[in-house]
Amino acid sequence: MNLKVLLPSEVLLDRQVLKLTAEAPNGFFCLLPRHIDFVATIVPGILSFLDSESVEHFVAVDEGTLVKCGPQVLVSTRHAVMSEDLGQLQQVVEQQFESIDERERLARSAAARLESGMVRRFMDLEKRP
């Protein structure tokens, strides 16, 4: 099977795999090369796969969608981090989510300033004769 992990800005992973394990809202599932075509919503967690040398790798993913069609498996998610060591993966995920939280906080703050400025302008328009 060919596994691709797609992010909004890049293709994080594109490689041949022997086995893939992921988690859906109703539990974990495993895909093997001859598995029927399959679509699932995935929840935030760890996606694991065996490469062509039977070495296990891990990808921390945000919620997203998994589609298996023939030999292709596409995972589309907003955020993902790859590592071969679960301990290292945890550290990387914590650092990235702190960064994401800070960017989201700044974006919410900017949106609130824009909204309050727009409301003030509408109020000024209403006061004009």
Q: What is the CATH number of the domain that holds 8?
A: 2.60.15.10
| Domain identity same for 104 and 67 | no
- What is the span of the domain harbouring residue 46? 2-84
More confident residue, 114 or 90: 114
Residue 88 has pLDDT above 80, yes or no: no
Reported as a single tens digit per residue, the pLDDT across 41-86 is: 999 888 999 999 999 999 989 889 999 999 999 999 988 888 777 7
CB 18 within 8 A of CB 33: yes
| Domain identity same for 76 and 112 | no
Residues 47 and 98: their CA atoms lie apart, in Å, by: 21
| Domain identity same for 54 and 107 | no
| Domain identity same for 68 and 119 | no
| Domain identity same for 62 and 125 | no
CA distances from 91 to 17, 79, 107 (A): 25, 15, 25
**pLDDT, mean of residues 100-120:** 79
Number of domains in the chain: 2
Q: Taking the model in full, what pTM does it have?
A: 0.71
| Domain identity same for 8 and 58 | yes
| Domain identity same for 68 and 15 | yes
| Domain identity same for 77 and 89 | no
| Domain identity same for 70 and 93 | no
Q: Would you state the pLDDT for residue 83?
A: 79
By CB atoms closer than 10 A (0-12, 13-18, 19+), residue 5 is buried
